[in-house]
């Protein structure tokens, strides 16, 4: 991922989005191979969100685009609640949270729509 230039505008991430990414990274550290669902790009994004309070517009727009996976996440969350398995065993849950979760993606969509 490229660093924003000195003059690039950055946006403060919601703490909840950062916490969602941190949660996924903690699962991966604790449960190793039981946790999957993201590409290497996704894991890098989760690390970026967990580590940085602010991101550039390019990152915000990439987060916003993750909305295309919302249906998979909702189905997985329903299954997880019905089956009672740990959330880190559902790839769609891992990916959704790694990209900021509900709060992060909704936040990114609002900013992206205001900055076409």
Sole residue written with tokens 């559902």? 90
Whole-model pTM above 0.75? yes
What mean pLDDT comes out for the span 22-31? 97
Q: Is there a domain that residue 44 lies in?
A: yes
Q: Is there a domain that residue 100 lies in?
A: yes
pLDDT at 1: 45
Give the burial class of 11: count Cβ atoms within 10 A of its Cβ; 0-12 exposed, 13-18 middle, 19 or more buried.
middle
Q: Is there a domain that residue 1 lies in?
A: no
Rounded to an integer, what distance in angstroms lies between the CA atom of residue 73 and that of residue 93?
A: 5
- Residue 35's domain comprises 11-114
pLDDT at 39: 92
The number of distinct structural domains making up the chain is 1
Q: Where does the chain have alpha helices with state H? A: 15-31, 40-51, 57-65, 70-83, 91-98, 101-114
pLDDT at 5: 46
Give the pLDDT confidence of 53-71 residue by residue, as tens digits.
899 999 999 999 999 999 9
Q: Which of these ranges, 7-11, 58-62, 66-70, 74-78, has the smallest mean pLDDT?
A: 7-11
């Amino acid at each position: 991922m490229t660093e924003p230039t000195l003059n690039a505008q950055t946006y403060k991430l919601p703490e909840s989005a950062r916490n969602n990414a941190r949660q996924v990274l903690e699962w991966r550290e604790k449960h190793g191979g039981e946790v999957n669902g993201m590409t290497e790009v996704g894991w890098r994004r989760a690390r970026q969100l967990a580590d940085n309070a602010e991101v550039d517009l390019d990152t915000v727009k990439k987060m916003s685009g993750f909305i295309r996976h919302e249906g998979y996440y909702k189905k997985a969350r329903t299954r997880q609640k019905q089956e009672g398995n740990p959330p880190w065993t559902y790839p769609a849950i891992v990916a959704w949270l790694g990209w900021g979760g509900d709060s992060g993606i909704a936040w990114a969509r609002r900013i992206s729509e205001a900055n076409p």
